[in-house]
Structure 1
Amino acid sequence: MDGSSEKKSTVVETLVIRNIEDKNELKLKLKEIIKAGKDYKFDVFECLKSLLTNSDEEIIILVIQAISELAKSGDKRETYAQKDIIEPILLKLEKEVNSENTELLKQCCRVLGNLCCDCDTGRSVSLESNGVRILMKLIEATLDKDDETFDEIRHLASKCILNFAIGGPEFSVAIQSSIELFNRILVLELDKDDMCDVMVSTSLLILNVINENIPEFIFDENVNKTVLNILRETTNVEISELCLDHLQIQAEQDAVKTLIASEKGLHLVCKRLEQLISKQNTGDLNAEDSEVNYVMKQACDLIIIVLTGDKAMHMLYENGKGEIYAIMERWLDHENIQLQTTAALAMGNFARKAEHCIQMTDNEIFTKLLSKFCEF
């Protein structure tokens, strides 16, 4: 179809939609657009925009679904990522959260998530229209509602925030005020008998995006403690990776090194590393070797980063009687080369203080390190 024919077809399609008077017929047409999704050929932006103010809520929900499906296409996403579309949708999200409007709220979150996915236009319009504040308020309103439907709304709204924040520093700065809210979500998940992995992952991803886009940002101590507690509770390799990502970046700050040491974070990391290696050797891990190896590298790197902090190092050495020091001494003879290397680097950090160095030499750690070096 050439350009003129396509334009003519679009005009005809627009007229067809505008002239539908029967509500059921209009609903069928909207369902047709939803089914076609990103493969729908025509530009019906003006029609869908006008239908957002329809008096029939079912039609409004179908219009929002149609825009959401169309926005899965990059080109169409730019078309619909406009103030005339985003503002009315955000206004609908300001409605009181109750059991009667959950479908509308879910579809609004879905479409906003799609309009902010790899689209700075959608992000900018959302920012200018107080989208972050509205989404945060919506998420907060779901926190005291113990129901799977509200859990889904919370997750969809959180994914909107994530798609928004990924855009870069400007957008990550805009969500800094939401950090405590996502900390609350993580704390709520910790209190459950069975954490919701998708909600935990989304919340951790948001924290990690802020870490990446604003590397100088220091999270409150309670947030870093919560992430450490998630790492303590989870058995999920992917979530462990996200926790380690966050802690590794935050541990560039001496205060966080000390926090991790005082909260026995390295005890936890060492235990997990040994468990991972044991399970990997017996084939009991439900994860790819590459993923496990990456998590192991993160954990080993975190150990060394924490030990570069003077206060943390002294705390963990404990006059040569510390548990972490003993583990590192044991790892010097471990069959796993990654643990051996980590132990050697850890010993180098413990030896930064003269009296530690003398004590380690008296205990023949120097001799053991020298023999290992000769083996390499």
Structure 2
Amino acid sequence: MDVPSDKDCLPQLMEGLAIAVEKKSEDVSSLLDSIVLQVQDSNNACVDYSSFVDHLQALLCWESKTIISKSAKVISELAKADAGREKCATSSLLKLLVKFMKDEEQDIQVLIQVCRALGNICYENDKGRLLILDADCLPILLQVLKRSLSETGESGRSLRNVAAGFLLNLLIGHEDIQQKAVELGVVDILCRVLELDGIDAAGEESCTHALVILELITDSAVNGNESLLDEQMCKVAVQVLGASSSPEVSEMCLELLHGQAENEQVKIHLARAGLCELLIQLLEKHKPLVEDDEARNLMKMACDLIVLVLTGDDSMNILYSEGQGQVFHSMVSWLSSDDEDLQITGVLAMGNFARTDKHCIQMVEAGVSKKLLTLVERNNTPDGDIRLQHALLSALRNLVIPSQNKATVLNDGLMNAVAPMLAIPTFPVVFKLLGTLRMVVDGQEEAARELGQQHELVQRLVQWCGTEDHPGVQGEANRLLAWLIKNSHDQGVLNVMLETGAVPCLVTMVTAEHAVMQNEALMALALIAAMRLNDASESLVAAKIGSSITKLLTDFGPSLSQEVVQNALTLLEQLCTSDIVKSHLIESHITSALKPISSQKNNSDMSDQINRLVSMLDSG
């Protein structure tokens, strides 16, 4: 019989195929080729495929591998359209297609076309997907994908591509199936797919499928604190990122790694795999080409990933490498970058490297603090970049924690550099500023005296002590007041504290939730009482110092440390030297709170002191 040309309409070709099938004609093969071309024409969307699919199913039972392969190819083309996909979603057809995949010696072209057909049928088609899963296809598909790893050349790559695409369509939207795939070892298989195809442009499609699947299953994985990305997978993902010239593949690699880099073990794997070094190289290479928002967002993600890896203690130490690490030196150089994202990344990196005293000392000796202060001087006003200001203060705060760094950084001009930042209204920046100042005055009498005598600063601190908008700022403001008093031991500082109304803030701080703040408040008040009780007595009484100490002893009594109790007793003894304050303490029923304290086992060595204090107060 005459074979219809490619220009003939699909119904004629389908009719011709039905006749050829019935006669078992040799024309079947060429008819299938023509049908593939015609099905690819979108003008055939309204054709009824019902009986045609039955003929194709019959052809799948022929012995010829070529006919089976071509029939499956036609099915895969039909299933690209919603109508065809629906007609192909029958239990008998799908079971037959899955059966071909079970044969470990199956012809590779048959496997390629069967995987394409099944993958297209279950695309956005829950009915087809469930029928395929009912045929226990998932483990069979993973075996096919595993076989594809040992197949070489174009056919092996094609099989990996269609099998991975089929797997992706099967897993989308079904977390239970994704979990089962994980249990069946899909991650190791995908890792091998990336090893084979991720570094070759010809394998981009299968690489893309693998990355999307990995992102799916890692997002939905229920593994507690564990990640599905082991050391080898992290290493391979970094290799793919370095080798790919595709922006899409690069973005998917970054998203996958970024999504998993919260895990501490993954951070270590990525640090050892050279991710940060690679990202630095890519960022510096492509920075001049970043001209649109999409490219800029990709650049930001890469910067974020570097910082995220550095937040891990072990990964940070690997990259610091005793101050000799390439990443550390690159981040120092980025402090001088003209690109704000790179510069902020450099500053954030400094804050993360400065997490041990040893690192902080080495970094200050290397001049890192001077570079940071230079940036502060350029960005210390309300119109400065908030992200940069926050990052700079965080890094400086860490650097001044070691006692030997404080004087150095102060001499480098810290106070003058940060002073204008008091005018910044943004609470997160204020929080970091107060923390930095508190750290740097610890043990630095001159600096504490200089700051504590600044009337405007202390007045601002008193205002922040009352803010309800940011508990962190409120806490840091209170603590800085206490630290200025404790570290300065200066009459001039106390003058300013009394003039600005700082005493009520410290009295309120006595009953703070945190023991460290309670203790700091007690010590600061004890210094005020020892040095300026006559001047402070009215403020202390007005602030109800007696009620605060009573509440402290009553509400926190059993949990109070010996140090806190001892400091409370010392303060009370000093307060009792003022008749006005002593009367106030008696009215506050302080003795009722003291008596139970003396009977507590951990306070037994203070019982005599407590009893004397109680007797003195009871006697009036």
Instruction: Verify same fold: TM over 0.5.
Output: yes
Describe the shift of the 1:336–1:184 C-alpha distance in structure 2 as closer, same or farther (beyond 3 A).
Answer: same
Percent sequence identity over matched residues? 31
C-alpha distance in 1 between matches for 2:245 and 2:76:
34
CA contact (8 A) 1:168 1:213 kept: no
C-alpha distance in 1 between matches for 2:240 and 2:202:
9
Describe the shift of the 1:221–1:321 C-alpha distance in structure 2 as closer, same or farther (beyond 3 A).
Answer: closer
Describe the shift of the 1:213–1:365 C-alpha distance in structure 2 as closer, same or farther (beyond 3 A).
Answer: same
**TM-score, reference length from structure 2:** 0.51
Amino acid in structure 2 at the alignment position of 1:214: A
User: What secondary structure is seen at the aligned counterpart in 2 of 1:21?
Assistant: helix
Q: Which has the higher contact order (CA 8 A, sep 6+)?
A: 1
The offset of 1:232, in angstroms, is 3.3
Describe the shift of the 1:227–1:111 C-alpha distance in structure 2 as closer, same or farther (beyond 3 A).
Answer: same
The offset of 1:253, in angstroms, is 0.5
C-alpha distance in 2 between matches for 1:189 and 1:158:
12
The offset of 1:17, in angstroms, is 4.0
CA contact (8 A) 1:97 1:141 kept: no
**TM-score, reference length from structure 1:** 0.81
CA contact (8 A) 1:215 1:249 kept: no
The offset of 1:305, in angstroms, is 0.9
CA contact (8 A) 2:73 2:113 kept: yes
CA contact (8 A) 1:261 1:316 kept: yes
Amino acid in structure 2 at the alignment position of 1:314: N
User: What secondary structure is seen at the aligned counterpart in 2 of 1:219?
Assistant: coil
* 1:165 corresponds to which of 154, 171, 182: 171
Amino acid in structure 2 at the alignment position of 1:307: L
CA contact (8 A) 1:97 1:138 kept: no
Which structure: larger Rg? 2
Describe the shift of the 1:373–1:171 C-alpha distance in structure 2 as closer, same or farther (beyond 3 A).
Answer: farther
Moved more, 18-27 or 363-372: 18-27
2:203 match: 196
2:340 match: 337
CA contact (8 A) 2:157 2:203 kept: no
CA contact (8 A) 2:261 2:308 kept: yes
C-alpha distance in 1 between matches for 2:47 and 2:294:
41
| Residue deviations 1:335-368 (CA, integer Å, cap 9, x gap) | 1121112122222323344554565556324413
C-alpha distance in 2 between matches for 1:36 and 1:195:
27
1:90 match: 98
* 1:41 corresponds to which of 39, 47, 50: 47
| Residue deviations 1:262-320 (CA, integer Å, cap 9, x gap) | 33321121111101114x17xxxxxx945533331221111111111122223333454
C-alpha distance in 2 between matches for 1:58 and 1:179:
33
C-alpha distance in 1 between matches for 2:126 and 2:337:
49
CA contact (8 A) 1:186 1:226 kept: yes
Moved more, 152-161 or 205-214: 205-214
Amino acid in structure 2 at the alignment position of 1:187: E
* 2:349 corresponds to which of 346, 349, 352: 346
User: What secondary structure is seen at the aligned counterpart in 1 of 2:379?
Assistant: helix
1:74 is the counterpart of 2:104: no
Moved more, 45-54 or 219-228: 45-54
C-alpha distance in 2 between matches for 1:215 and 1:200:
24
1:23 match: 24
* 2:283 corresponds to which of 262, 273, 290: 273
C-alpha distance in 2 between matches for 1:349 and 1:154:
42
Describe the shift of the 1:233–1:28 C-alpha distance in structure 2 as closer, same or farther (beyond 3 A).
Answer: closer
C-alpha distance in 1 between matches for 2:353 and 2:341:
18
Describe the shift of the 1:28–1:265 C-alpha distance in structure 2 as closer, same or farther (beyond 3 A).
Answer: closer
In structure 2, runs of 5+ residues without a counterpart are 1-10, 386-620
1:219 is the counterpart of 2:225: no
| Residue deviations 1:89-142 (CA, integer Å, cap 9, x gap) | 1111233446xx333222111101101212222222222323222222223333
Describe the shift of the 1:306–1:270 C-alpha distance in structure 2 as closer, same or farther (beyond 3 A).
Answer: same
C-alpha distance in 2 between matches for 1:20 and 1:315:
68
The offset of 1:153, in angstroms, is 1.9
2:558 match: none
1:261 is the counterpart of 2:268: no
C-alpha distance in 1 between matches for 2:19 and 2:179:
42
Describe the shift of the 1:22–1:174 C-alpha distance in structure 2 as closer, same or farther (beyond 3 A).
Answer: same
* 2:244 corresponds to which of 234, 238, 251: 234
C-alpha distance in 2 between matches for 1:369 and 1:159:
50
Describe the shift of the 1:342–1:137 C-alpha distance in structure 2 as closer, same or farther (beyond 3 A).
Answer: same
Describe the shift of the 1:105–1:263 C-alpha distance in structure 2 as closer, same or farther (beyond 3 A).
Answer: closer
* 1:250 corresponds to which of 226, 247, 260: 260
Describe the shift of the 1:320–1:154 C-alpha distance in structure 2 as closer, same or farther (beyond 3 A).
Answer: closer
C-alpha distance in 1 between matches for 2:321 and 2:34:
70
CA contact (8 A) 1:86 1:126 kept: yes
* 1:123 corresponds to which of 129, 132, 155: 129
2:190 match: 182
C-alpha distance in 2 between matches for 1:19 and 1:276:
59
* 2:318 corresponds to which of 315, 320, 328: 315
* 1:292 corresponds to which of 290, 295, 298: 295
CA contact (8 A) 2:335 2:371 kept: no
CA contact (8 A) 2:319 2:326 kept: yes
Amino acid in structure 1 at the alignment position of 2:178: S
CA contact (8 A) 1:227 1:243 kept: yes
CA contact (8 A) 2:98 2:137 kept: yes
1:3 match: none
Amino acid in structure 2 at the alignment position of 1:196: G
Moved more, 222-231 or 212-221: 212-221
1:301 match: 304
State the superposition RMSD in angstroms. 3.3
1:207 match: 214
C-alpha distance in 1 between matches for 2:73 and 2:99:
16
C-alpha distance in 2 between matches for 1:264 and 1:173:
30
Moved more, 35-44 or 54-63: 54-63
The offset of 1:257, in angstroms, is 0.8
C-alpha distance in 2 between matches for 1:129 and 1:372:
67
Amino acid in structure 2 at the alignment position of 1:112: L
1:373 match: 379
C-alpha distance in 2 between matches for 1:168 and 1:369:
50
User: What secondary structure is seen at the aligned counterpart in 1 of 2:116?
Assistant: helix
In structure 1, runs of 5+ residues without a counterpart are 1-9, 282-287
Q: Between Structure 1 and Structure 2, how many residues are aligned? A: 355
Amino acid in structure 1 at the alignment position of 2:240: I
